[in-house]
Every structure is written in C-alpha cells, then in structure tokens.
C-alpha cells in the first residue's frame, strides 16, 4: 500500500480544472502517458478499473512517475478499493455511491469522489460525510442546469461533473460556483495512446490548464 502523503478529495479537485479519465489497455502506455500529462501541467490522473491491465498501470505510474498523483476510477466494491490502494492509488472515483464503498476507501486511506445523479444520492453521500462529489453522468443527468438547481438545497457541496464533458462545454460547467473541476476523457484519446503520440497528450493537457 502507498505510503505517499494523503490527499483530500478537495485537494484532488483543486489541482487543475480537469481530472483526466483514462482507459489503458496496454501497460507499456502507462508511464509515458502519465509523464506526458504531467509535462502539460496535469498531475491528478484517474485510471479507470475498466480493463484487466488497469491495476498494473496504476502500480507502474505510482512507482515510476512520482510527480503524478494516480487514482483509481470505476471503484464499485470494497475489493476494488483495496486493490487500488495496494497498487499505489491515492484517490478513488466511483460511478455511484454506497456506504460500503465509502467506508472501504476510508479504511485504506483513499480520498473518494463518489458519483451521484440525484438529490437522494447526494443526501446519502452527505450522511456518510462526503461533501465533494462526482456528478455522473453529467450531461445525461441534466448538465449545468441541474447543477444550478442543486446550488440552493446543496449549497455546501462541491462537484466534479463527469460524463459527456468536452473541451468545448467544460467552461459552461466550470463557470458554476459549485463546480471545482470536471472529469474528461478527451485529454487521453485512444488513438494518441495507440500511436504513442505523447506530445499531443501534453498539448491537450496544456490547453486544459487554461480553462
């Protein structure tokens, strides 16, 4: 398990305007991809647990790219949280929220951004002590208009909208006072990974920093 300094969910969100949502199918891509993002000013990296190689990729980034802060996305179970922490992840992102996943992340020292899409889910996360949340799937669940509506009853909650967020619509989300950052997959296009076009990933990261 990682012995690196812990980060809070808010610190993860405040580091840059965008947390890249990364899907890796080849462990050989992990380290150069992470270095390319860091070179562009993005160091909070969410590697999703959607592929068999994901945990090995997290481990490689944690070991070989110390200037990056690697996290695990698509954390759905206690076992996911435990495996992510053992691989060296320092934060977790989940597509939804259950008290069990929340407690599992606390038990292993992972900052958690739980996913919510409804007012009831926000209330459940708040009851468990989570005030920084992922709004997912953001575009499909109501977009900026939904977040504006939530700013009244959930005035004390900060959001990271993810799902359908692009370089073009990200400013609409980031302009909202209850949005700290967004999650986006556009920083690490699949074809850039396949082609080893690390300069393109660095360029996308730099463009994102100016949002």
A 10 A CB-CB count for 191 gives 8
Residue 103 has pLDDT above 80, yes or no: yes
Which is catalytic among the residues 132, 134, 148, 209? 134
Where along the chain do its domains lie? 9-206
Q: Is 134 a catalytic residue?
A: yes
Which is catalytic among the residues 6, 46, 67, 148? 46
> Does residue 35 contact residue 199 with C-beta atoms inside 8 Å?
no
**Separation of alpha carbons 159 and 178, rounded Å:** 6
pLDDT score recorded for residue 4: 54
Chain CA centroid to CA 28, Å: 21
Third-level CATH fold of 9-206:
TIM Barrel (3.20.20)
pLDDT digits (tens, 9 = 90+) for 38-49: 999 999 999 999
Residue 57 in tokens: 């990729």
Residue 9 has pLDDT above 90, yes or no: yes
Q: Is 121 a catalytic residue?
A: no
């Amino acid at each position: 398990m990682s012995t690196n300094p812990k980060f809070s969910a808010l610190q993860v969100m405040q580091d840059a305007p965008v947390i890249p949502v990364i899907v890796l199918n080849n462990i050989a891509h992990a380290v150069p991809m992470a270095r390319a993002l860091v070179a562009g000013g993005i160091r909070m990296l969410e590697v999703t647990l959607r592929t068999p190689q994901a945990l090995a990729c997290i481990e490689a980034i944690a070991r070989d790219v110390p200037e990056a802060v690697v996290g695990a996305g698509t954390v759905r179970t206690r076992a996911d949280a435990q495996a992510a922490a053992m691989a060296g992840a320092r934060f977790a992102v989940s597509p939804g929220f259950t008290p069990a996943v929340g407690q599992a992340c606390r038990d292993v020292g992972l900052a958690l951004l739980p996913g919510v899409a409804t007012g009831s889910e926000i209330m459940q996360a708040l009851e468990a002590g989570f005030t920084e949340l992922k709004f997912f799937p953001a575009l499909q669940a109501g977009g900026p208009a939904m977040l504006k509506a939530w700013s009244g009853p959930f005035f004390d909650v900060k959001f990271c909208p993810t799902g359908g967020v692009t370089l073009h619509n990200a400013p609409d989300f980031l302009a909202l006072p209850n949005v700290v950052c967004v999650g986006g997959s556009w920083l690490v296009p699949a074809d850039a990974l396949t082609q080893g076009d690390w300069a393109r990933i660095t360029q996308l990261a730099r463009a994102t920093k100016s949002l």
